[in-house]
Structure 1
């Protein structure tokens, strides 16, 4: 009997790569350029995963729409400049991430994808920097979808791959990832090493501490 196709979707920032240094630096540069007080580290990390316009609206709720739009553009410019200067070092892979991707990629019935609040440009640059081009068959980014936790990214990935939601999982570090998964009817696996405390990952089927625990978590969900 042929095994059903499975889909494993990864969030990026805080799940596959530790990009907090780049994010905080770019957000700091954006607010300083607009002559506004810079939000604290915890506040900045709390919005990672949201689409940029939503994120900046939360960080600068008292500012006008035009100022928020300027902050978005300032962030993009600062982030891209930092990435060009530092390459893969600006967002290093977490320990075990590459090994987990390679192991899953080696299973014939498993397809891999990403669902991220990054832009297409940002995701493509990151994937190229880490040499991950061949692994992900579906790439869902903020340019083409409502912000997480709206289920659009997951739903589109399911449609593109032809995988049923009961055979898919979403892996992420934030409540936005887990709530998006739940809204799309797929299981969510939370990770403890990212930017949201595990206590807020209430929609997750389980939370793992290291990538070594991922195979067992997937087996429990699919079996």
Structure 2
């Protein structure tokens, strides 16, 4: 069955915006590890892994407030600093490889002159570090991070990427693995595709009404190829 990835009529697909953690990079284990470390460092009650995975996709401060309702500003700041120090610097934290199929997907889209962007809850320092480590920086015309904009599902960072790329919502697609990604896209008027190899299960992603749910990036590439063949 064909997935309606392309805009209707004669409009071309001009921009695809990706989430980073759990979508392009297999980093949820490292995120969970560092959230656990931050809880120990701040003396906060530990949360189980399911609770920690549930908040991946939110900005760090919004995630802390979700994990510890009623926490004061000083605690949120302390926890956030401890988490970021672990994620960026800890040598014993889990590795963060790219998911299979990332280069093939980005190369295929780039060859068709589709603009690419990133809207992530990572910090600017964290995203820049990841882009440098993976060598992917040159693919993306615009990126927006969680320390520059309100937390997902607020649409601000997605709108920023579209504005910088000069592309309207109808000719944009969002790709993400969390319900926060898909809700952000809905609030911005952007059709979205959910990838289920990340943090949120298909049942939860389906509630945000994406164009499609796909198991991985190879399946997304095949869906784009099929859409191209049928136009």
* TM-score of the alignment, normalized to the shorter chain, above 0.5: yes
Instruction: Provide the aligned C-alpha RMSD in A.
Output: 2.2
Q: Is the 8 A contact 1:188 1:205 kept in 2?
A: yes
2:5 matched residue in structure 1? none
Q: What is the correspondence of 1:135-214 to structure 2 with a 5 Å cutoff?
A: 135-201=139-205, 202-203=207-208, 204-214=210-220
Q: Is the 8 A contact 1:11 1:114 kept in 2?
A: yes
Aligned pair partner of 1:90 in 85, 95, 106: 95
Q: Is the 8 A contact 2:28 2:198 kept in 1?
A: no
CA distance in 2, matches of 1:151, 1:191: 19
TM-score, normalising length: structure 1: 0.90
Q: Which deviates more, 189-198 or 97-106?
A: 97-106
Q: Give the drift of 1:63.
A: 3.2
Check 1:96–1:216 CA distance in 2 against 1; reply closer, same or farther (3 A cut): closer
Check 1:216–1:95 CA distance in 2 against 1; reply closer, same or farther (3 A cut): closer
CA distance in 1, matches of 2:72, 2:92: 33
Q: Is the 8 A contact 1:206 1:217 kept in 2?
A: no
Runs of 4+ in 1 over 6 A off after TM superposition: none
Q: Give the drift of 1:4.
A: 4.0
Check 1:164–1:62 CA distance in 2 against 1; reply closer, same or farther (3 A cut): closer
Aligned pair partner of 1:116 in 112, 115, 120: 120
Q: Which deviates more, 118-127 or 138-147?
A: 138-147
SS of 2:15's partner is: strand
1:34 aligns with 2:42: yes
2:104 matched residue in structure 1? 99
Q: Give the drift of 1:216.
A: 5.0
2:129 matched residue in structure 1? 125
1:78 aligns with 2:101: no
TM-score, normalising length: structure 2: 0.87
CA distance in 2, matches of 1:95, 1:216: 14
CA distance in 2, matches of 1:72, 1:121: 14
Q: Is the 8 A contact 2:16 2:115 kept in 1?
A: yes
Residues 71-110 of structure 1: CA deviation (Å, up to 9, x unaligned)? 111111111112xx379x72111111221112111112x0
The alignment covers a number of residue pairs equal to 218
CA distance in 1, matches of 2:47, 2:192: 30
2:4 matched residue in structure 1? none
Consecutive unaligned residues of structure 2, counting only runs of 5 or more, are 1-9
1:67 matched residue in structure 2? 75
2:14 matched residue in structure 1? 6
Aligned pair partner of 2:27 in 16, 19, 30: 19
Consecutive unaligned residues of structure 1, counting only runs of 5 or more, are none
CA distance in 2, matches of 1:26, 1:210: 25
